[in-house]
Amino acid sequence: MYGMVNKAIQDLVTSKFGEDKWITIKEKVGFEDDFFISMQSYPDELTYNLVGAASEVLKMDSGAILEAFGEYWILYTAEEGYGEMLALSGSSLPQFLGNLNMLHERITHIMPNLKPPKFSVKEITENHVELTYESDREGLAPMVVGLLKGLGTRFEKKCKIEQIVTRDKEGVDVFSVSW
């Protein structure tokens, strides 16, 4: 995963829980560098280990950490140089969701090691969609819940998010999103 993801985890932990907690987490996973480089690829295992260590140190369920992280990602990327890209990806929640694959394709042009998930949107009613999420990575569905909450906040919509299908081996997750 690109360093930007690990950096965002660091930023979330330090801003919410303090520098000391971050140092403990970093030591637990044995990450020895001084910082992450946003545009460098790191093993996925490092990211999973950071979440696992954060779960132990902060005494939070790892699902809760992933969800908080997903929500934070929307704010973090908006402030760390990707604000315009996000703004160009839609001015409403359903429009933004419909443009997610295009957004990732654009980034992949510049960052070829990106392994973006695929999303598809099925419109149920004017204020209800079903979002299908398909990823090479396992266990990140709680992060998608957080991403959707963050997008709800971004578009000033009170969203109801429910996972209606849970992936079994190589399958897809489906979320019901209504507002």
Give CA–CA dist 65/71, Å, rounded.
Answer: 10
Count of residues near ligand 1DX by CB under 6 A:
23
Retrieve residue 82's tokens.
């990707």
CB 175 within 8 A of CB 162: yes
Strands 160-165 and 173-178: antiparallel
C-beta separation of 98 from 121 below 8 A: yes
What's the closest the beta carbon of residue 74 comes to ligand 1DX, in angstroms? 6
Please select the residue that binds ligand 1DX; options are 16, 23, 39, 124, rule is CB under 6 A.
Answer: 39
User: Considering only residues 14, 38, 62, 120, which one is a binding residue for ligand 1DX as defined by CB under 6 A?
Assistant: 38
Judged by CB, which is closer to ligand 1DX: 110, or 158? 110
- Position of tokens 């990327």? 77
13 binds ligand 1DX (CB under 6 A): no
Which residues, numbered 90-109, are part of the site for ligand 1DX (CB under 6 A)?
Answer: 100, 103, 107
Using CB under 6 A, pick the residue from 22, 57, 135, 175 that binds ligand 1DX: 135
Q: Is 4 in the site for ligand 1DX (CB under 6 A)?
A: yes
Q: Which amino acid is at 15?
A: S
